Amino acid sequence: MPIIVVKDYSWRQTSEFVILNVPLKGHPRKIDLFIIDSYAKISFPPFILELFLWANVVEKESKCTLTEQEAILTLRKTNIGLEWPTLEVQDIDNDFKRECRDRALEQAHKVAEENTKAKSEKRQHLQKEAVREQINIHTTTLNKIDAIRNAHRKEAMHEFEDWRSKAEVPFLPEVEGEVQENRKTYKPPLKWFKDENNELKSRPKTEEEIFNGDAPKKGDKNILEVQNENQENETKSYKKKDDILEDVGDGISEDSESDCEVKNNSSDKKRRPGLDAVKAAIEGNFFKKNSIFEEPEKSVPLPRKAGTINVTFSDRKFPTPARESSHVEEQEWLQKQAEARRKIGFDADDLRPEERDPQWLKDKGDDFFRVGNYLAAISAYSYGIKISDRMASLYVNRSAAHYALGNFHRCIDDCSKALELMEPKCEGNRESRARCHARRGAALCKLSAPQHGVPELEAALQLTPDNESIKRDVLAAKQYFDIKE
């Protein structure tokens, strides 16, 4: 896109301000304004106005007013009361303009860094103040809760003291209470026995019987005999119940009746019938019960129905899934990559829409190349080639940057591509073709291929016979590789 320089503007000044009226053409939607020190630039594509002011202005106290027909810039003078003889510096060359642009860019970067640092410090200060205020609020809330709790505690203790003072006074002093037996006091165990009439009786054990053991007296039956007799009666009553015998008989072995009769060292009596079931369970003889697992058609579940589950994943910059990665480490890596791109001086993500122009990118790469920042120059040329791959000058300049970095193979590729694009061969591209042949020949010689590099240098010399630099390169290459004519 061609660039049109605006020249039909007017200006006037006061003791404090410089007022600039710039007509707007084409009804632009967006106007870019860049003012710092003595440099001012107004851009509304394809129109541009670049001013190298006579004195410095204050950017923060300047303002811009937009109307339908013009943009009114009110620039505040740094030296109030100073009369400007002209708006711009007169009789300046391109080198002075380039220095002013570079100085303005450096100052803008410095101001931007200072603003970023100030914002960061302010944000940290606000965060600290917010944390301190939150702690104060939390402390105040806790103090209020403690005060309310203490008040409730004092009130409860006061009520308790009132109740205790009233409870200690007898409610009915003329009525005497009855002493009740303490049911939790210690009572000696009972000793059971049968008297001469075969009646079951009990009496408290004496201290001798408790500490020395139970010694049966004359005429008293032992408690073991009484218990055994009761167990025999219970066994007889259990045998009369047919339903219990049917359920138990299927799960216990034939020796279960003999298992129920366990000999004891003290007496050969039978134990309670409930113990035989426990013993049978320990030995593995369980009772048979109806269960769904005995019927295969009920125990086996039906097969599941076939189906498809669609799973979608979000786009990620890393090949590993989120559950197997560390989000914090990935963010640090991305930040380091962004910083590395910015350090070389060029980042495609920072470009404005109007700056995504191949010609602008070529000029940007040329500026980087002049200051020796070859990586940034290659990035700018590559992004321009990505937008427009039919622009031969981008390949020519990128080959020079590759040659400066020692990337001779890529230099050869760029030179070859540039020569393919410079068709038809004419007087307008003769100088560019000569530079491509000379640079490709020098790169081939650097790669120890003089049989191909020297003819390229000679082809460049044929295109520009008066170029003393190419003559010296051809002579140096032949002397180095000992090539005789």
Q: Any bridge partners for residue 76, and if so which? A: 17, 58
Question: What pLDDT, on the 0 to 100 scale, is given for residue 61?
Answer: 79
Question: What pLDDT, on the 0 to 100 scale, is given for residue 173?
Answer: 66
Give helix 450-463 / helix 468-480 axis angle, nearest 10°.
160
User: Is 456 exposed, middle or buried (CB count within 10 Å of its CB: 0-12, 13-18, 19+)?
Assistant: buried
Q: Any bridge partners for residue 73, and if so which? A: 20, 64
For the chain, what's the residue count?
485
Span of 64-78, 311-325, 345-359, 414-428 with lowest mean pLDDT:
311-325
Q: Any bridge partners for residue 191, and if so which? A: 203
Would you say the pTM of this structure is higher than 0.85?
no
Question: What pLDDT, on the 0 to 100 scale, is given for residue 254?
Answer: 40
With a cut of 50, say whether residue 243 has pLDDT above it. Answer: no
Span of 70-74, 129-133, 388-392, 443-447 with lowest mean pLDDT:
70-74
Question: What pLDDT, on the 0 to 100 scale, is given for residue 93?
Answer: 80
458, 474 Cβ separation under 8 angstroms: yes
Question: What pLDDT, on the 0 to 100 scale, is given for residue 371?
Answer: 92
pLDDT in tens, 267-307: 444 445 456 665 665 666 655 555 555 565 666 677 788 88
- In SS3 terms, the chain reads as CCCEECCCCEEEECCCEEEEEEECCCCCCCCEEEEECCEEEEEECCEEEEEEECCCEEEEEEEEEECCCEEEEEEEECCCCCCCCCCECCCCCHHHHHHHHHHHHHHHHHHHHHHHHHHHHHHHHHHHHHHHHHHHHHHHHHHHHHHHHHHHHHHHHHHHHHHHHHHCCCCCCCCCCCCCCCCCCCCCCEEEEECCCCCEEEEECCHHHHHHCCCCCCCCCCHHHHHHHHHHHHHHHHHCCHHHHHHHHHHCCCCHHHHHCCCCCCCCCCCCCHHHHHHHHHHCCCCCCCCHHHCHHHHCCCCCCCCCCCCCCCCCCCCCCHHHCCHHHHHHHHHHHHHHHHHCCCCHHHCCHHHCCHHHHHHHHHHHHHCCCHHHHHHHHHHHHHHCCCCHHHHHHHHHHHHHHCCHHHHHHHHHHHHHHCCCCCHHHHHHHHHHHHHHHHHHHHCCCHHHHHHHHHHHHHHCCCCHHHHHHHHHHHHHCCCCC
What the block records as the tokens of 90 is: 């007169």
User: Buried b / exposed e across 264-291, counting CB within 10 Å, b at 16+?
Assistant: eeeeebbbebeebbeebeeeebeeeeee
With a cut of 60, say whether residue 1 has pLDDT above it. Answer: no
With a cut of 90, say whether residue 435 has pLDDT above it. Answer: yes
pLDDT in tens, 192-217: 777 777 777 778 878 777 767 655 55
20, 9 Cβ separation under 8 angstroms: yes
With a cut of 90, say whether residue 67 has pLDDT above it. Answer: no
**What distance, in Å, lies between the first and last C-alpha atoms of the chain?**
49
The whole-angstrom separation of Cα 426 and Cα 4 is 29
pLDDT in tens, 319-368: 666 666 677 888 888 888 877 777 777 777 778 887 889 999 999 999 99
350, 343 Cβ separation under 8 angstroms: no
